[in-house]
Amino acid sequence: MLIRMLRQFFGRGNRRTGVSLSELYAMHYGKVSDKWAMYLDVYGRIFGEYRERPVSLLEIGIQNGGSLEIWSQYFYNAEILIGCDINPGCLALSYDDSRISVIVGDANSDSVLSDVIKKSKAFDIIVDDGSHISEDIVKSFFRYFPLVTEGGVYVAEDLHCSYWEAYHGGLFDPSSSISFFKLLADVVNIQHWGIEMSPKDLLAAFNCPEDFTVSIFEQIHSVEFVNSMCVVRKKSSTCNVLGHRVIAGEIEQVVGGLRNLHGTTCPKHSQINNKYSVRPEATVKVIDSWQTAVHYNPRS
């Protein structure tokens, strides 16, 4: 009991003085949270700028619910922290922190989405730690990325599962979740494709819903990969174009003519005759119907 009280005291007392996420995990005594060690370092880097803000956070897949307790300490000024899990056992989870709430059900159902929106219409941070099945991950991105605020982040965890057949994936499976996020990296660079193709055309095999519009694709600012994770940042579409060329300085001793390019935009090069602007037939995979997803899988 004494150790628990000390951990609670120091955990709460130090949370405003730069205690790292790894340190919060080390001193945590409450509900169990299961994260890979690398994730804690990555989250410390990408979430640091949000730490003092009144953030709204949604986590899909919470198991025993411990991550919500730790997020509440890490984001000590958070306004709302929502966990969603399909496991009915999560109905028994309760918290002293009124900012934390739990929704039980399939995150990819309309009813759960409605319940989420009733609690918060927008989120600064969304973490998908759900079933890890490829089609579930893709469906969740389409469903919840529109709720991310401008300047917010969407994180998909445990993408190592996208290489495993049991989770409907494989290294060369064009319908795996990792293949989906790789294509999102192409969407970031759409102004350079040089062909008439929309993001929805590029992602046709993933059954992009009608309400996920081109304007939402235009808000994808960056797609970052680290081991087993993908971090998608959202910004206004005006922040996501290459913009004009900026030339500084006066002396052109080696390469001349650059100063005249100041203020010009990136040239457009048609790629309609580029054989690599056509999707190779060997990688084409039209998905008529995905297998019924297994929505609850303990982490392997």
Q: For the segment 60-92, what is each residue's pLDDT rounded down to a tens digit?
A: 999 999 999 999 999 999 999 999 999 999 999
pTM greater than the 0.85 cutoff: yes
Among candidate residues 98, 63, 99, 70, the one with its CA nearest the CA of residue 84: 63
Task: List the catalytic residue out of 132, 160, 244, 269.
Answer: 132
DSSP string across 232-268: EEE--GGGSS--B-----S--SSS-S-GGGTTPBPPP
Whether pLDDT at 7 is above 60: no
Q: What is the mean pLDDT of the chain?
A: 89
> Using CA atoms, how far apart are residues 92 and 63, in angstroms rounded to an integer?
11
Whether pLDDT at 203 is above 90: yes
Starting at the edge strand found earlier in the chain, the sheet holding 148-156 runs 100-104, 80-85, 56-60, 123-128, 148-156, 229-234, 220-226
Contact in structure between 173 and 161 (CB atoms under 8 Å): no
| Residue 132 appears among annotated catalytic residues | yes
Domain covering 36-243+272-283: architecture: 3-Layer(aba) Sandwich (3.40)
Whether pLDDT at 222 is above 70: yes
- Tell me what the mean pLDDT of segment 231-236 comes to: 97
Residue 112: both structure tokens together: 């759960």
User: How many angstroms separate the first and last alpha carbons of the chain?
Assistant: 33
φ, ψ for residue 214, nearest 5 deg: -60, -35
